[in-house]
Amino acid sequence: MTPMDQPTEYAERVLETAEAIPEGRVMTYGDVAEYLGQGGPRQVGRVMALFGGGVPWWRVVRADGRLLPGHETEALANYRAEGTPLRTPATDRETYRLDMPRARWDGEPAPD
């Protein structure tokens, strides 16, 4: 087994953060790095690419709200099932995007 077969401590923290994001909410790659106080968007993206298949990967997103290329259909199905706020395309040439101001989660627990 090589070191790449197992997530590092940092990768485990990224994956735990992805799992903690509530249904219907998202964090950007940069948000996750800031929340952890370590790494940056690229490091978070790398962790998600290598190890994110077992967590709700669709909740860790690009800052512009675009759906993950190559995974748009699956991500959109998850967003719809969870009630994640979306921006409807204005034209046939556009695709869905996340409504980032409404969908973004700041890492704070919801008030009771």
Q: Is residue 11 part of a domain?
A: yes
Q: What is the CATH number of the domain that holds 47?
A: 1.10.10.10
83, 96 contact by CB (below 8 A): no
pLDDT digits (tens, 9 = 90+) for 78-102: 999 999 999 988 777 778 899 999 9
DSSP per-residue string spanning 19-43:
HHSPTT-BEEHHHHHHHHTSS-HHH
Sign of CA dihedral 6, 12, 15, 20: positive
Residue 19 maps to a domain: yes
Distance, CA of 112 to CA of 105 (rounded, Å) = 16
For 13, the domain range is 3-103
Domain count, the chain: 1
Give the global pTM: 0.88
Between 5 and 50, residue with greater pLDDT: 50
pLDDT top residue among 3 and 16: 16
What local confidence, expressed as pLDDT, does residue 6 receive? 80
Render pLDDT for 42-54 as a digit per residue (tens, 0 to 9).
999 999 999 999 9
Is pLDDT of 2 > 90?
no
